[in-house]
Amino acid sequence: MLGPPGSGKGTRAHIISELYDLPVITTGDMLRTAVAEGTECGKIAKSYMDKGELVPDDIVNGVVRERFQKPDVEDGFILDGFPRSKGQADALDQILEDNNIELTHVILVVLDDKVIVERLSKRRSCPKCGEIYHLESKPPKKQGVCDVCGAALIQRDDDKPDVIKHRLEVYAEQTKPLIKKYRDQGLILETSGVIPMDQLRDHLKELLG
Ligand code: AMP
């Protein structure tokens, strides 16, 4: 899944995972878990994540490489939020080659920066189960409480306006150039980030054939 922060990569990855019974490898979640557990990687990652910067390639590549040791990737997987830089794309090429895996699609989610800022600043997340809400389009039933697990909802530090703007700059500088690489390989499938939730499943089914 490729696309700016807040474009809906996670939502789409989740639906595709259900449609095709594939595990989702979400680097953002893996890094947040490392931060919560207070591991060495987590401590380093936190300082970058709080500022909306990319966590250094060697850490992220290491986390992803380790994830590929698990047997559940054997029949396919969805990468959500990785690669995000040239160094990561090179590492992914190497991981795929080492594991004799072929990349079949790169789904590019396209969304306007203005919509992203609006969407992310009203996003609330459950720190316990990962469920995502939006104050207007998907509010929790009870204000501030997760519908799924009852935990108190939070606004991620990096979903605050200044940090969002910086994340968009980082995306434009470091991640956007990857679009050309995957377009040249004929792998890009483009999808809009504003498709209504109730149409998303059918849309993705059609997109992936
Ligand atoms: P996300 O939940 O995908 O928006 O990621 C949240 C934050 O985690 C990003 O702003 C980065 O600081 C960090 N992060 C997630 N994935 C990566 C990655 N592939 N490379 C570097 N940093 C990442």
pLDDT in tens, 92-128: 999 999 999 999 999 999 999 999 998 899 999 998 8
Mean pLDDT of 31-39: 93
> What is the best residue among 11, 12, 49, 157 to mutate for testing ligand 1's pocket, by most ligand atoms within 8 Å of CB?
49
Rounded CA-CA distance 183/33 in Å is 32
| Any ligand 1 atom below 6 A from CB of 24 | no
pLDDT at 184 over 90: yes
Find residue 145's DSSP bridge partners: 152
| Any ligand 1 atom below 6 A from CB of 81 | yes
Q: Give the domain 9-22+75-207 fold.
A: Rossmann fold (3.40.50)
Rounded CA-CA distance 205/209 in Å is 6
Structural contact between residues 121 and 164, judged by C-beta atoms closer than 8 angstroms? yes
127: Cβ contacts below 8 Å, ≥ 6 apart = 36, 151, 152, 154
Q: CA–CA distance from 14 to each of 23, 101, 130 (Å)?
A: 9, 21, 12
User: Which residue in 52, 56, 25 sits closest to 40, CA to CA?
Assistant: 56
Rounded CA-CA distance 68/99 in Å is 8
> What is the best residue among 31, 124, 159, 175 to mutate for testing ligand 1's pocket, by most ligand atoms within 8 Å of CB?
31
pLDDT in tens, 19-28: 999 999 999 9
| Any ligand 1 atom below 6 A from CB of 1 | no
pTM equals 0.89
